[in-house]
């Protein structure tokens, strides 16, 4: 009998321990961010900082974080570098368990919804308001919601530009300093540049890549596929018909491969000569200059061709990164001060970053741009000049509407060029899909930017 | 009799003790999260603000999304391609290996098992090279035969089949070895008796081998079908779910919502619905095959 009791007690204890282990951190109201260690042995407040680019720029981050840690004796910033693929899982799991970092990197597209849901805190009450006056208008708009600033910009990158091989242009009798400016020219150039073993142009080839890399092309039509207040589809119009026809022609004429040679962001097909022109983002500059220095001189950069050849219109969506303070951080002031020092303080910190990344992205700050004007490499960088003059001033922010809307666009385009569906029919179907989405999800009027 | 039941009681206690760690782990990592998921699926769930009870709203949204049905259908189609091919190949190979003895048999067994230890990620990359439009092995073979190049991963007609082939390759080794273990369990005397009765190879397969492998088939079918429907890494890396959502398997669909949605309700509700669908499919398979222990 006694043995039985012991058995029951053991079983109960074991189950309880396991249950407690299982329960830990599953509650939606987590305890606090950076729960691992709040203070160092010397009494400094620990600020956990998560960076979403893996180890690629870890040395650079650590160099400046060490300087910050040495510059004062109240706060110790500890950085964790997480690879892009694992980022979402890691962050969401930590947020759910209440063990998220104090500061983390966040892309522009996530800021508004994160602010709306209290996932991030406004910086205004902790930092000098003058730091926001240093921001270009586009960057200020990116990080603002409801009259407050929820992030500070790290960098900005145009997601769609034209890269082309000058040597292949010469080979085909085209002027390498005159890239195509209109859609018709692009088609004409594409035909001339295509030959056995080489395509005229490569671009986004799978649904996901089409869904986001076409935001610049969508902007050329003058309208996203959904109205600004998210109340109705705005995809079934002449602008989109023209865009679909343009894309289908590229495919039908064999200027595009029937299957793209890789992901949208891959630069190799241009480097190894499998294509003469490529749609890609400015983020490729880093890889081109670091890994393929021997072909850099042969590569030209231009805005995406537009229907009428005028580049003074949006040809690209601007993405990019910021630092934010977690909504559950116990030390928001210290966290915000760190961001202020790192991103809004000495412009040399960011100049150092742009130098390291081969000027593949841009700043949201006027003072950093000023500092870059005097930088010999930056001021002589032709690619950078072209983007600063012809792309960035007209770029649109990455849209924040639901992914389903971008997917409806991508699927409509795929139906046309892959399956040969009539353009009008496909746009009509996409219009219905978007309107159905709006209705099912009570989506009309929910754009937080307009609230 | 009394002595016997005392032994039984003690055996039971030992059995429960042995099961305890497993039950504990299952409770912590499966049962509690499952109930918690059901709980949050009724809320507009946010880690940082008060959760708002919205009843079946998340489920209504999932069930009125045509892409959810398309993803489920894609999962079923994927399983319908992968499982029969894997079964037939594995059955033939298992029979072949049984007849091979010694070192060569061991070599074949090891060779066909190797793909099983290769991760889906590595397989995806290998097959991305094979399916490359211009430099890939698949199109090299096709064009050598005088046929036109095929956009294996970009053509709506081929994409799902193209990602099924690495899945078959990856799962085929284990299926073969499990079938081989089943085959080796069938007493040789059955076959000898059948030969005396004048049975040929076909008869032996239909009347002895297949009926006696029923439970093995059942296990492989349930594990295979539910595994195939939940395929994630191959479409994630090779096609991103496209073209036209033709390779958007249920798990990839759920993962896409997980990474893109501002709220988690839709993701949790669709994951739970997938759980129900998989449970129903497993139940149907059990029912159809009428699983029971073989009479000795």
Q: Omega before B31 cis (within 30°)?
A: no
- Interface contact A259-B260, CB threshold 8 A: no
Higher pLDDT, A263 or B45: A263
Q: Are A334 and A311 in contact (CB under 8 A)?
A: no
What are the per-10-residue average pLDDT scores of chain A (451 residues)? 53 50 40 52 88 87 95 93 87 85 93 90 95 91 93 94 96 95 96 93 92 95 94 96 97 93 92 95 90 93 95 93 94 95 94 90 91 88 92 91 94 95 96 94 90 74
Task: Read off the pLDDT of each residue in B36-50 and give the average, rounded to a whole number.
Answer: 87
Compute the distance between CA of residue A370 and CA of residue A363 in angstroms, rounded to an integer. 10
Say if residue B138's pLDDT is above 80: yes
CATH assignment at residue B124: 1.10.3720.10
- Which of A119, A261, A440 minimises the CB distance to B61? A440
In a domain, B45, yes or no: no
In a domain, B26, yes or no: no
3-state secondary structure A385-419: HHHHHHHHHHCEECCCCCHHHHHHHHHHHHHHHCC
Say if residue B28's pLDDT is above 60: yes
SS3 B111: helix
Residue B2: CB partners within 8 Å, gap ≥ 6?
none
- For chain B, helix, strand, coil in percent to 5 are 75, 0, 25
Strand pairing report for A144-145 and B52-53: unpaired
Compute the distance between CA of residue A290 and CA of residue A190 in angstroms, rounded to an integer. 28
- pLDDT averaged over every residue in chain B: 89
Question: Which domains are seen in chain A, by residue range?
Answer: 45-158+318-380 (3.40.190.10), 161-315+399-450 (3.40.190.10)
Residue A393: CB partners within 8 Å, gap ≥ 6?
none
| Chain A residues inside the 8 Å CB shell of B131 | 259
Element (H, E) at A78: strand A75-81
Compute the distance between CA of residue A311 and CA of residue A173 in angstroms, rounded to an integer. 24
Q: Which two tokens stand for residue B250?
A: 């249920």
Taking CB atoms and an 8 Å cut-off, how many pairs form between chains A and B?
128
- Which of B27, B61, B239 minimises the CB distance to A15? B27
- Interface contact B47-A419, CB threshold 8 A: no
Compute the distance between CA of residue B126 and CA of residue B245 in angstroms, rounded to an integer. 22
Compute the distance between CA of residue A338 and CA of residue A47 in angstroms, rounded to an integer. 9
Range with lowest mean pLDDT among B35-49, B82-96, B144-158:
B35-49
Tell me how far CA of residue B154 lies from CA of A388, B124, B128, B249, B285, in angstroms. 35, 15, 12, 16, 33
In a domain, B114, yes or no: yes
Which of these, A423, A409, A426, A431, lies nearest to A234 by C-alpha position? A431
Model confidence band, residue B104 (pLDDT cutoffs 50, 70, 90): confident
Model confidence band, residue B292 (pLDDT cutoffs 50, 70, 90): low
Say if residue B247's pLDDT is above 90: yes
| Chain B residues inside the 8 Å CB shell of A433 | 66
- For chain A, helix, strand, coil in percent to 5 are 50, 15, 35
Q: Which two tokens stand for residue B236?
A: 């994630």
DSSP-H helix ranges across B52-187: 57-63, 66-99, 102-117, 120-130, 137-144, 159-185
Residue B36 CA, distance from chain mean position: 26
| Chain B residues inside the 8 Å CB shell of A30 | 47
pLDDT of res. A29: 38
Q: Which two tokens stand for residue A24?
A: 């830990």
- Which of B27, B46, B241 minimises the CB distance to A18? B27
Q: Are A165 and A273 in contact (CB under 8 A)?
A: yes
B209: left (phi over 0), alpha (psi -120 to 50) or beta: alpha
Give the closest-approach CA distance of B285 to chain A in angstroms. Answer: 32
User: Which domain, by its residues, includes B106?
Assistant: 66-289
Compute the distance between CA of residue B91 and CA of residue B296 in angstroms, rounded to an integer. 24
Give the closest-approach CA distance of A249 to chain B in angstroms. Answer: 17
Strand pairing report for A148-149 and A144-145: antiparallel
Residue A111, φ and ψ in degrees, nearest 5: -65, -45
Tell me how far CA of residue B72 lies from CA of A231, A335, A411, B237, B286, in angstroms. 29, 44, 18, 19, 20
Model confidence band, residue B8 (pLDDT cutoffs 50, 70, 90): confident
Give the closest-approach CA distance of B123 to chain A in angstroms. Answer: 16
Say if residue B134's pLDDT is above 70: yes
**Matching residue, tokens 């649109």:** A396
Q: Which two tokens stand for residue A143?
A: 């990080």
Distance linking the first and last C-alpha atoms of chain B: 25
In a domain, B19, yes or no: no
- Which of A118, A206, A404 minimises the CB distance to B240? A206
| Chain A residues inside the 8 Å CB shell of B48 | 95, 117-119, 327-328
| Chain B residues inside the 8 Å CB shell of A432 | none
Give the closest-approach CA distance of B280 to chain A in angstroms. Answer: 27
Which of these, A397, A405, A403, lies nearest to A234 by C-alpha position? A405
Give the closest-approach CA distance of A19 to chain B in angstroms. Answer: 5
In a domain, B197, yes or no: yes
Q: Are A7 and B15 in contact (CB under 8 A)?
A: no
Task: Read off the pLDDT of each residue in B119-144 and give the average, rounded to a whole number.
Answer: 92
**Matching residue, tokens 């061991």:** B106
Distance linking the first and last C-alpha atoms of chain A: 69
Which of A24, A204, A259 to probe by mutation at the B interface, max B CB count within 10 Å? A259
Q: Which two tokens stand for residue A83?
A: 């690879």
Tell me how far CA of residue A94 lies from CA of A40, A102, A404, B45, in angstroms. 21, 11, 26, 15
| Chain A residues inside the 8 Å CB shell of B60 | 440
In a domain, B183, yes or no: yes
In a domain, B48, yes or no: no
A329: left (phi over 0), alpha (psi -120 to 50) or beta: beta
Residue A275: CB partners within 8 Å, gap ≥ 6?
A198, A199, A200, A201, A202, A261, A269
Compute the distance between CA of residue B237 and CA of residue B141 in angstroms, rounded to an integer. 24
Q: Are A182 and A306 in contact (CB under 8 A)?
A: yes
| Chain A residues inside the 8 Å CB shell of B240 | 206-209
| Chain B residues inside the 8 Å CB shell of A404 | 67
In a domain, B257, yes or no: yes
Which of B20, B47, B74 to probe by mutation at the A interface, max A CB count within 10 Å? B47
Compute the distance between CA of residue A353 and CA of residue B73 in angstroms, rounded to an integer. 47
DSSP state of B147: P
- Which of A11, A88, A206 minimises the CB distance to B20? A11
Q: What ipTM, to 2 d.p.?
A: 0.83
Task: Read off the pLDDT of each residue in B236-245 and give the average, rounded to a whole number.
Answer: 90
Element (H, E) at A188: helix A183-193
Give the closest-approach CA distance of B92 to chain A in angstroms. Answer: 35
| Chain A residues inside the 8 Å CB shell of B133 | 257-261
DSSP conformation letters of A287-342: HHHHH-GGGGGGEEEEPPPBSSS--SS---EEEEEEEEEBTT-S-HHHHHHHHHHH
pLDDT of res. A22: 42
- Which of B32, B65, B245 minimises the CB distance to A207? B245
Strand pairing report for A103-107 and A161-165: unpaired
- Which of A7, A14, A205 minimises the CB distance to B154? A205
The total of structural domains in chain B comes to 1
Compute the distance between CA of residue A162 and CA of residue B192 in angstroms, rounded to an integer. 74
Residue A7: CB partners within 8 Å, gap ≥ 6?
B13, B17
């Amino acid at each position: 009998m006694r043995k039985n009791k012991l058995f029951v007690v053991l079983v109960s204890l074991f189950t309880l321990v396991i249950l407690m282990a299982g329960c830990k951190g599953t509650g939606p109201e987590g305890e606090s961010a950076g729960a691992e260690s709040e203070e160092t042995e010397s009494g400094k407040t620990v600020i956990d900082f998560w960076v979403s680019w893996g180890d690629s720029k870890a040395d650079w981050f650590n160099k400046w974080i060490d300087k910050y840690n040495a510059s004062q004796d109240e706060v110790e910033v500890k950085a964790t570098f997480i690879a892009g693929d694992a980022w979402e899982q890691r962050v969401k799991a930590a947020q759910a368990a209440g063990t998220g970092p104090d500061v983390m990197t966040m892309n522009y597209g996530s800021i508004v919804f994160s602010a709306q849901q209290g996932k991030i805190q406004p910086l205004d009450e902790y930092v000098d308001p003058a730091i926001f006056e240093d921001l270009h208008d586009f960057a200020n708009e990116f990080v603002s919601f409801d009259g407050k600033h929820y992030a500070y910009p790290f960098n900005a990158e145009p997601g769609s530009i034209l890269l082309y091989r000058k040597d292949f242009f010469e080979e085909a009798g085209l002027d390498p300093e005159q890239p195509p400016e209109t859609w018709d020219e692009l088609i004409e150039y594409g035909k001339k540049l295509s030959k056995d073993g080489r395509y005229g142009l490569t671009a986004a080839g799978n649904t996901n890549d089409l869904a986001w890399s076409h935001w610049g092309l969508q902007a050329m039509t003058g309208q996203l596929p959904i109205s600004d207040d998210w109340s109705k589809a705005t995809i079934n119009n002449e602008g989109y018909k023209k865009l679909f026809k343009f894309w289908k022609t590229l495919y039908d004429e064999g200027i595009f491969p029937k299957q793209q040679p890789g992901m949208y962001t891959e630069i190799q097909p241009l480097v190894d000569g499998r294509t003469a022109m490529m749609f890609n983002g400015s983020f490729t500059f880093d890889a081109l200059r670091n890994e393929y220095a021997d072909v850099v001189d042969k590569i030209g950069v231009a805005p995406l061709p537009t229907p009428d050849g005028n580049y003074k219109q949006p040809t690209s969506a601007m993405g990019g990164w910021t630092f934010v303070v977690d909504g559950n951080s116990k030390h928001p002031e210290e966290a915000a001060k760190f961001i202020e020092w790192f991103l809004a303080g000495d412009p040399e910190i960011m100049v150092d970053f742009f130098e390291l990344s081969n000027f593949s992205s841009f700043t949201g700050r006027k003072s950093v741009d000023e500092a870059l004007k005097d930088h010999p490499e930056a001021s002589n960088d032709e690619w950078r000049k072209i983007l600063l003059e012809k792309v960035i001033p007209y770029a649109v922010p990455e849209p924040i509407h639901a992914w389903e809307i971008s997917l409806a666009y991508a699927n409509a385009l795929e139906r046309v060029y892959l399956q040969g569906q009539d353009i009008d029919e496909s746009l009509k179907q996409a219009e219905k899909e978007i309107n159905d989405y709006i209705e099912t999800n009570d989506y009309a009027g929910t754009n937080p930017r307009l609230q | 009799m009394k002595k016997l039941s005392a032994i039984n009681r003690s055996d039971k206690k030992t059995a429960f003790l042995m099961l305890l760690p497993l039950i504990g782990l299952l409770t912590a990592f499966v049962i509690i999260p499952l109930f918690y998921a059901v709980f949050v699926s009724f809320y507009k769930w946010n880690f940082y603000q008060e959760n708002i009870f919205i009843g079946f709203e998340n489920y209504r949204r999932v069930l009125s999304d045509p892409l959810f049905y398309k993803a489920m259908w894609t999962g079923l189609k994927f399983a319908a391609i992968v499982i029969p091919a894997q079964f037939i190949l594995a059955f033939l190979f298992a029979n072949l290996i049984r007849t091979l003895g010694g070192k060569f048999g061991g070599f074949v067994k090891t060779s066909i098992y190797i793909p099983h230890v290769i991760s889906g990620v590595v397989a995806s990359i290998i097959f991305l090279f094979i399916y490359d439009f211009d430099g890939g092995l698949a199109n090299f073979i096709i064009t050598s035969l005088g046929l036109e190049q095929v956009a294996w991963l970009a053509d709506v007609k081929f994409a799902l089949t193209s990602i099924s082939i690495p899945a078959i390759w990856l799962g085929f080794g284990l299926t073969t070895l499990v079938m081989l273990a089943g085959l080796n369990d069938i007493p040789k005397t059955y076959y000898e008796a059948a030969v005396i009765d004048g049975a040929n190879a076909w008869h032996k397969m239909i009347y002895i081998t297949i009926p006696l492998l029923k439970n093995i088939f059942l296990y492989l079918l349930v594990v295979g079908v539910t595994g195939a429907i939940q395929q994630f890494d191959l479409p994630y890396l090779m096609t991103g779910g496209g073209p036209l959502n033709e390779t958007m398997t249920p798990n990839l669909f759920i993962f896409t919502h997980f990474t893109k949605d501002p709220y988690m309700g839709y993701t949790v509700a669709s994951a739970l619905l997938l759980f129900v669908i998989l449970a129903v499919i497993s139940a149907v398979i059990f029912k159809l095959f009428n699983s029971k222990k073989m009479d000795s």
